[in-house]
Structure formats: C-alpha cells, structure tokens
Structure 1
Amino acid sequence: MASDIHEADGPVDVSVVVPARNEADYLRGTLASLAGLDTDYEYEVLVVDGDSSDATPAIAREYGATVLEGPGTSIAAGRNYGARRASGDWLAFVDADTRVRADYLTELLGYAEATGLAAASSRCRIAGPRRAKIMEATINYVFPRLERPILPGFNLLVHRSAFEDAGGFPDVPNEDTAFSRRLGRRYPTGYCPEVLVESSGRRIEAQGLTGTLVHYLRLDRERLRASRARRGGA
C-alpha cells in the first residue's frame, strides 16, 4: 500500500516539482522516497503530467501528490508550469526516475541557507552501465568546480525569486545547463558534498550532458588562460 506524501500543515517551505510523461514504471519509487522524507520543513509535491497514456496520473494521486495537467511539450515546459503553480518559497526539481534520500530536504536546503546560496544540487548516484558511472563522477567532481556550476535538472533546489528572475528553464536542448549558466551569472550557486539522490542513467546520453560539459570546460579553460595572461602582463 502506498504511503501518502506529507501534507503541509501551514505555509509551504518547499514545493517539489516532478515532471512526468508515461513514467508509470519509475514514478512509484520517486514518490515513495518523497513520502519518506524526514524533515521539519513543510513541503508539497506537484506531479506535472505531460499527457501520459499510462497510469502516471493515477499513481501520483495514489501517493497523495497534486497532479497538474501540464503542456506535455518538453521537460522544461513541465518544470516551469509546476513552478508557476507551486506555493513554496523554494522549488525542488526532481525527475520521475530519481529517488531522494530521507534527509534530502534537511541537508540540501540547510546547506543552501547556511552558505547563502540561491540554488544548489548535491552529489548523486546514477544507476546503469559504465557510461552512467562516468557521468556520475562528472556530476559529483567536475560540475561543482566550474565557474558557474551545472545543476542537473533531476536534482535542483532553487529559491523561487531567483528562479523567476532567471526566467525559468529555457525550452532548449540541455535546458538545465542553460538555466544553470544564466542563474550563475546573477546568484551564488553550488553543491552540497553529500550524496542525497539516486537516479536512473537512461537519459544521460540523450540529454547530451557530456558534450555540453566539454563545451563549457573549454570556455572555462579559456577564461582561466585569459585571467593568467592579464595577471602576467600587469
């Protein structure tokens, strides 16, 4: 029997937005993990259904999540739609194949507040073949060291005001990378060093994160070279 997701007793601290289209095979695990959160923060869970033809909406209701009929055009559109309907001061974006650990909100939001960040992600575990483990290492040890850290859309906490100021997720390929770079130009962002989520590696290659990483590493390397050249010429 499914455990109902926690219902906030008062003002909502965090709105967890889960975009989902035909995710019946994965969504139960995600929602069960959200129902099992151990936190003093008040939170709500919004599942944005992208015109699913399977049991996705029924499963979301089974777990007590709020189901929103989203546009179904892209994951960026789904996330943005959920954000518009959310009531929390903070927005947590989690994909339908991502499971959070019981201390997810306590650790990630606590870290963001303690360090003055407008947005944060955390280290993760990614299930799958060797390529997925390479991507896991990249997210955990390379993304945080970029001048503007890339915050993966499957594990992203951001203050509502910063999210709105940055214009939400752009409807482009690698929307989370584009959003991270735009947000990082205006606000401090970073990574909690704890492993707080576990996710499927099924979309890593399709999302093109590796190619995007190479592109931004090249840009950051050129930035560092230019900075050293300026110091050397001073």
Structure 2
Amino acid sequence: MSKISVLIVTYNYGRFLAECIDSVMAQDCGEELEILVVDDGSTDDTPKVVANFPQVNYIRQEHRGVSAARNTALKRATGDYLAFLDADDYWKPEKLRLQMAYLKEHPECKIVFTAYENFLESSVSAQEEWVKRCCQFAEHDIACLPTALFHRSILNQCGLFSEDLERGEDSEWTYQIWLQKIPRAYMEEKLYLRRLHGKNLTGSGAKQCKEQRKQFQKDIVHKSIRAVRRNNMEKNGISVLIPAWNAQKFIVECIESVKKQKFTELPVEIIVVDDGSEDDTAELAKQAGAVVCKAEHRGAAASRNTAITMAQYSWLFFLDADDRLTEGAFEALYAPIQKDGSLSAVFSYARDFYDLPGRSTNAGEEGKVRTYSGCLPGCSLIRKEVFRKVGPFDLQLKTGETVAWQLKFRNTGLPSCRIEYVTLERRIHENNTGRRMRGQEQMDYARILREHLRQKKKGE
C-alpha cells in the first residue's frame, strides 16, 4: 500500500474547508492518506473547522502567500505520492483511485493530471459567457496543478515553488515538468471541482484573473519558451499520436505499420488516445506496444490535443487508427529536416485503398486511387513547439479539424516543405467519418472556409 499526502493550503476559506476535507476523506483509493492543512495566517474560523477533523495535520504560519504555504506543505509531507487541493475546491470520490491505477499501470509516468469542472457557488450569479471569459486562463492552461497526483521523486528535479511570484506560481512549477522532461499523463475525466465564488470570480477577483493571465504571459510563458529554445526541452524524436474510437478492427494493423518503419535516426513512441471506445481498442493497442490513454468520448480534435500534451518528443506525427503508413514514411519525411534544421513542418501525400465488400486495394497497389496532399493525418511531420504558436485543434469541429489547423499554420509563415512521397495509405471503409457524418462534414468545412476567408481578408 502506498501513502498519499494531500496538501491543502488555505487563507480565510474556513467556510469551504470542511467540504474540501470531506472530499478527501471520501476517496475510495484504498491507499493510506496523510492530510496536511497549511493555514497561511487566516483570520476567520479556519482553526475551529480543522479541529473537527482529528485526522488532519494542521500547520499554521504567518501570512506569506500561497507559494510559501505550498512549500511548507511539501517539506512536511511524508507520502510516496503528493496531491494539492485548493481549500475552496473539492474532489470526486474516485479521483485518487483512478490516478493511482494509472500510475501503477504506467510506472514510467511520474505525474498524472485530470480535467476539471468549474461550478458557481450558489450565492453568486453570473452569465455563463462572462464566467468563461473570466476563467479563460485556467481552462486553456497546459495543465491545472491542483488536479495532479505525482511521485515525490520529481521534487528533486522541479524543486519548490517560486516565492517571489505574486501569481502564476503553480503554472511556473508545472512548466518545470516540461523543462525537466518528466514523464507525464493527462486524464480527460473531470475529477476536480473548481468553485467560482466572490473572491475568485466577481469584482476584484475578475480583475485579478485578468492580471494573472497577463502576468503569466509576461513572466512565465516568455521565460519558459526561451528556456525551451535554450535547453531543447523535448527530447529529439518522433511521437506518433493516434486518436481511436471503436477501432479494434484496424488499430493493430495501424500500430504495426509504425513499428515496421526501418527508421533509425530518432527514437519513436506511439501514443493512442482511446476516445471512449466501447470495444477492445484500448487493450489491443496496449498489447501492440502503444502507450494508451483512456478518455471520455469527445471527438478526434480533443483526442489529438490530449495526445499532444502526452508527447515527449520534439516531432509530432498524427495518424488515424484505421489507416496505415507506407514503407519508408519516416525516412522520407525526416530527410528534408536533416538538410534544413529551420523547418517547422514537412508535408507529404496520401492515397486511398479500399476495404469495402466487393472492392479492395492491396497494400502498395497504385490502382485507380486518389492521392491527397498533406492536410490529412499521416501526411505531416510537425515540430511540437509549432502548436504553441498556431494553437491546438478546434474542439468545435467534429470533422476537418486537421484541415482547419493547417490553414492556420500556413497563415503563420513558418518554414515548411512538401515532398513528393506517399507516406499514408488511407482506408476507405463503411464507417469512415465522412460516410457517417456527411451532413456534419459539410457544415464543418463550410465553417472552416468562412474562417479562412475572414482571416485572409483581415491580413490583406
């Protein structure tokens, strides 16, 4: 049995603290729990609230700020695993159990984040759209630290929190996870409940949220990007990212086509994000040698974004679970990069093959098949840092998200090239997205075209 230290920092949040602690006590993880509450000089009834929980280790200090309080908690914690929880928030009962199960199943992983859900305190009213604007920083951050469960060994690499930062200290610390190349994972289950209330939502809270975004962008993002360029944050290699939904019929062949590549210049990892499949896709992918992340069904765009955050290498290669690579695909795509290190992306071609009743095309057979240029998964090798400039895939698109992303990429003017080589064999079968969602596809592509024309007109 492992020991988990839950670290709760509080400052005048006595009215929320009991619910917060109760959510920890309700965890069904089956592990030994150590609960530490660090009171950062509260002047409310926090001590009385904590007194009702004899299991809690209560530490009171003078008011020095959240970073100093978190550092106190880290120094006093004795668990094998650590988790932060803000005193005004709470967890779902299964949070630690699901995270521990993932870490035990993937011992190479040292920290696992989850998705979270905002909710309004009952005494607060606000328009939904206003709430989204106020919380934009957190919802689009790389990872929300209080959702994490991590092995204490990473403290040797990341150290303590920066006490000289007035805000954004958790994001700065999270960026150290990237900078130190610590193996990490992201679960899309919403296991953390984040309360929006008077102090963090309305009035001065909204102003603070806006200031926090600006401060983060100035002091942390710019600092971290410079560090990335200086220290080559991601290891040089290729991360193959495969979103999969009910793809048990094809997933093994897809993965095997990657493993058969005779490419030795760089290491290659295979990551499969199982998008809520109801079949054996995840298990088959795992047996085939891929790293598998199981997520709620949210569509290909969300799965691709999740895969990006899991990737440890500097080059990303997207591949759909029902397709397969041609021989020599990686060699062909990487050759231009060896000649020109400034390239941000290399694009190639795809061709169809048929897997339909009464009609088939053998692997490698030219036949009367169409070829496509690089907007499809399987036809592009993209530098990971490009996504920090272009942004992630559009979650509002059910289809065509890769086309929309490539149009945005073109607008950046980043250096790229196209090779005259077919790297992808695209399977035509009865359940292709285009066949299942023809009407949705037409609407999505119309939306993509309108947005592209709008951006083009804006740039003229």
- TM-score range, shorter-chain basis? 0.7 to 0.9
In the TM superposition, residue 174 of structure 1 has moved relative to its aligned partner by: 0.3
Task: Tell me, yes or no, if the aligned pair for 2:10 and 2:39 is still in contact at 8 Å.
Answer: yes
- Equivalent position of 1:49 in the other structure: 39
Match of 1:232 among 392, 409, 417: 417
Task: Tell me, yes or no, if the aligned pair for 2:116 and 2:191 is still in contact at 8 Å.
Answer: yes
1:53-73, Cα deviation, whole Å (9 max, x unpaired)? 222122123123110123421
- Equivalent position of 1:118 in the other structure: 110
Alpha-carbon distance in structure 1 between the residues aligned to 2:53 and 2:132: 30
1:104-140, Cα deviation, whole Å (9 max, x unpaired)? 1101232244343322221111123434445668756
Which ranges of structure 2 fall in alignment gaps of 5 or more residues? 121-125, 226-387, 393-408, 420-460
Alpha-carbon distance in structure 2 between the residues aligned to 1:118 and 1:99: 23
Question: What percent of counterpart residues are identical?
Answer: 21
1:165 is the counterpart of 2:157: yes
In the TM superposition, residue 163 of structure 1 has moved relative to its aligned partner by: 2.3
1:179 is the counterpart of 2:170: no
Alpha-carbon distance in structure 2 between the residues aligned to 1:164 and 1:48: 22
1:16 is the counterpart of 2:16: no
Corresponding letter in the other structure for 1:44 = E
1:31-110 alignment runs, 5 A limit: 31-64=21-54, 65-110=56-101
Assess, with a 3 A threshold, how the Cα gap between structure 1 residues 223 and 34 changes in structure 2: closer, same or farther.
closer
Alpha-carbon distance in structure 2 between the residues aligned to 1:175 and 1:185: 15
- Equivalent position of 2:19 in the other structure: 29
Assess, with a 3 A threshold, how the Cα gap between structure 1 residues 87 and 125 changes in structure 2: closer, same or farther.
same
Assess, with a 3 A threshold, how the Cα gap between structure 1 residues 37 and 177 changes in structure 2: closer, same or farther.
same
Task: Tell me, yes or no, if the aligned pair for 1:122 and 1:193 is still in contact at 8 Å.
Answer: yes
Which region of structure 1 is more displaced relative to structure 2, 70-79 or 28-37?
70-79
Match of 1:151 among 144, 155, 163: 144
In the TM superposition, residue 223 of structure 1 has moved relative to its aligned partner by: 10
- Equivalent position of 2:195 in the other structure: 200
Partner-residue secondary structure (3-state), 2:148: strand
Counting strand residues as a fraction of each chain, which structure ranks higher? 2
Assess, with a 3 A threshold, how the Cα gap between structure 1 residues 197 and 223 changes in structure 2: closer, same or farther.
closer
> 4+ residue runs of structure 1 moved beyond 6 angstroms?
135-138, 222-226
Partner-residue secondary structure (3-state), 1:232: strand
Alpha-carbon distance in structure 1 between the residues aligned to 2:116 and 2:217: 17
Assess, with a 3 A threshold, how the Cα gap between structure 1 residues 127 and 73 changes in structure 2: closer, same or farther.
same
1:129-177, Cα deviation, whole Å (9 max, x unpaired)? 434445668756x44xxxxx3333x333222111242112212120011
Task: Tell me, yes or no, if the aligned pair for 2:96 and 2:149 is still in contact at 8 Å.
Answer: no
Corresponding letter in the other structure for 1:155 = T
* TM-score (normalised: structure 2): 0.42
Equivalenced residue count is 215
Alpha-carbon distance in structure 2 between the residues aligned to 1:52 and 1:132: 27
Corresponding letter in the other structure for 1:109 = M
Considering Cα pairs closer than 8 Å and 6+ residues apart, tell me whether 1 or 2 has the greater RCO.
Answer: 1
Which region of structure 1 is more displaced relative to structure 2, 21-30 or 182-191?
182-191
In the TM superposition, residue 76 of structure 1 has moved relative to its aligned partner by: 1.1
In the TM superposition, residue 182 of structure 1 has moved relative to its aligned partner by: 1.4
Which ranges of structure 1 fall in alignment gaps of 5 or more residues? 1-10, 144-148
Task: Tell me, yes or no, if the aligned pair for 2:9 and 2:87 is still in contact at 8 Å.
Answer: yes
Partner-residue secondary structure (3-state), 1:31: helix
Please say which structure displays the higher CA radius of gyration: 2
CA RMSD of aligned residues (A): 3.2
Assess, with a 3 A threshold, how the Cα gap between structure 1 residues 38 and 48 changes in structure 2: closer, same or farther.
same
Alpha-carbon distance in structure 1 between the residues aligned to 2:185 and 2:217: 16
Which region of structure 1 is more displaced relative to structure 2, 157-166 or 16-25?
157-166
- Equivalent position of 2:186 in the other structure: 191
